[in-house]
Homo-oligomer: A and B are copies of this chain.
């Protein structure tokens, strides 16, 4: 058969089997999932959530179905690993599309006659103009929350999942390399990021096009940008881009991200346009030390909070608390952010196969923002930094 890098059908089946086992253990007749990432995780079907509700249904016998609008019928039939696809004509419609879901649940023995069932949320979320009944109103019984089991399952990645994130990393690395290469005084954020992203995307498709799909609503391929984190704006972590012109002395927060079959990588680097000032060098070195502190602490058996507590200890010991804005990192996978979080309030035990970003930052008004982010796999022995882009100041100082 033709080689592939995507998740195998066997792996999707084993994901469903584990959820089925959980449903049976809990005495639930089935489960309904509305979240598009959960649907992608269990069925391999990526789609754009809109005002037209969609859901994945699994019953305790292991039968599966996707509930979709007419618009998505052939798309789902061709791509979703489910036993059947049920569809309604359109949203809005009379009767309401949720009546079609109710019928599907009855057909599959998931709900009705007061049978207990589970769901990720109590109905399709009211987005983009959608309105409809909660599942509890529709079925006359409140669904059990399945979130904990699903999130636990998604948190520990399989070798195939890690492989896709390694694939994403290399193309993110290419896009950041080009972003750094093209950045110069007088150029604008947009011209540099559009060129780097486009060239990296074309290279990716020339290299692995036949076996690659982004399967992502965020990334159509590698994407390099500054998100407006340039110069004094670099102190605002999640600012949206606004096409700043590069000036000598700027502190730059650049990123090179990608997705492969839905799995995301994250790579961020602080760069300095021209020789670093003493104050910039000092903050850069502290930022590196914060990252090293986290990496030294990240290993199986410790808790998420332990890692963040070590990092916060560094902020305190070096009088940097005033420059703190967020925790050490987050898990990453099909979602660009997901739980658990490397945060003093998250007591989740760290296990091999978990994947985190390590990205403690320092934000100083008038000076800039300093943050590297690496995608890091927890191994049996400790951890492996999947993102291999240089982290030192010399490599990240741009000529002026």
**Chain A residues numbered 175-218 whose CB sits less than 8 Å from any CB in chain B:** 188, 190-191, 194-195, 197-198, 201-202, 205, 209, 213-215
Q: How does the 8 Å CB contact mask read for A325-336 relative to B, with 1 for contact and 0 for none? A: 111001100011
Q: Quick one: which of B220, B239, B240 contacts A241, CB cutoff 8 A? A: B220
Query: Is the beta-carbon distance between B325 and A92 smaller than 8 angstroms?
Result: no
Query: Is the beta-carbon distance between A326 and B71 smaller than 8 angstroms?
Result: yes
Is residue A338 within 8 Å, beta carbon to beta carbon, of the partner chain?
yes
Q: How far is the CB of A201 from chain B (nearest CB, A)?
A: 6
Q: Given the complex, which residues of B lie within 8 Å of A240, measured CB to CB?
A: 46-48, 213-215
Q: Given the complex, which residues of B lie within 8 Å of A331, measured CB to CB?
A: 129
Q: Quick one: which of B46, B50, B147, B326 contacts A131, CB cutoff 8 A? A: B147
Q: How far is the CB of A149 from chain B (nearest CB, A)?
A: 13
| Nearest neighbor of A217 in chain B, beta-carbon distance | B240
Query: Is the beta-carbon distance between A94 and B345 smaller than 8 angstroms?
Result: yes
Query: Is the beta-carbon distance between A190 and B205 smaller than 8 angstroms?
Result: yes
Known A-B contacts A69-B326, A121-B126, A241-B220; the reply to A337 vs B51 at CB < 8 A is: yes
Is residue A236 within 8 Å, beta carbon to beta carbon, of the partner chain?
yes
Number of interface residues of A (CB under 8 A): 70
Is residue A75 within 8 Å, beta carbon to beta carbon, of the partner chain?
yes
Query: Is the beta-carbon distance between A365 and B74 smaller than 8 angstroms?
Result: yes
Is residue A343 within 8 Å, beta carbon to beta carbon, of the partner chain?
yes
Q: Quick one: which of B125, B239, B324 contacts A75, CB cutoff 8 A? A: B239
Q: Given the complex, which residues of B lie within 8 Å of A237, measured CB to CB?
A: 71, 75
Instruction: Report the Cα distance A190→B221, complex, angstroms.
Output: 10
How many copies of this chain does the complex contain? 2
Query: Is the beta-carbon distance between B337 and A129 smaller than 8 angstroms?
Result: yes
Query: Is the beta-carbon distance between B205 and A338 smaller than 8 angstroms?
Result: no
Is residue A310 within 8 Å, beta carbon to beta carbon, of the partner chain?
no
Q: How does the 8 Å CB contact mask read for A56-85 relative to B, with 1 for contact and 0 for none? A: 000000000000011110110010000000
Q: Given the complex, which residues of B lie within 8 Å of A325, measured CB to CB?
A: 70-71
| Nearest neighbor of A130 in chain B, beta-carbon distance | B339
Is residue A292 within 8 Å, beta carbon to beta carbon, of the partner chain?
no
Q: Given the complex, which residues of B lie within 8 Å of A78, measured CB to CB?
A: 236
**Chain A residues numbered 209-245 whose CB sits less than 8 Å from any CB in chain B:** 209, 213-215, 220-221, 235-243
**Chain A residues numbered 224-275 whose CB sits less than 8 Å from any CB in chain B:** 235-243
| Nearest neighbor of A94 in chain B, beta-carbon distance | B345
Instruction: Report the Cα distance A334→B326, complex, angstroms.
Output: 29
Q: Given the complex, which residues of B lie within 8 Å of A195, measured CB to CB?
A: 198
Is residue A1 within 8 Å, beta carbon to beta carbon, of the partner chain?
no
Q: How far is the CB of A70 from chain B (nearest CB, A)?
A: 5
8 chain-A/chain-B pairs, Cβ below 8 angstroms: A48-B240, A50-B337, A51-B330, A72-B238, A92-B343, A92-B345, A194-B198, A214-B241
Please give the residue numbers on chain A whose beta carbons come within 8 Å of chain B beta carbons, in ascending order: 46-48, 50-51, 69-72, 74-75, 78, 90-94, 120-121, 125-126, 128-131, 147, 151, 188, 190-191, 194-195, 197-198, 201-202, 205, 209, 213-215, 220-221, 235-243, 324-327, 330-331, 335-341, 343-346, 365
5 pairs of A and B residues whose beta carbons are closest in the complex: A129-B339, A194-B198, A92-B345, A128-B337, A94-B345
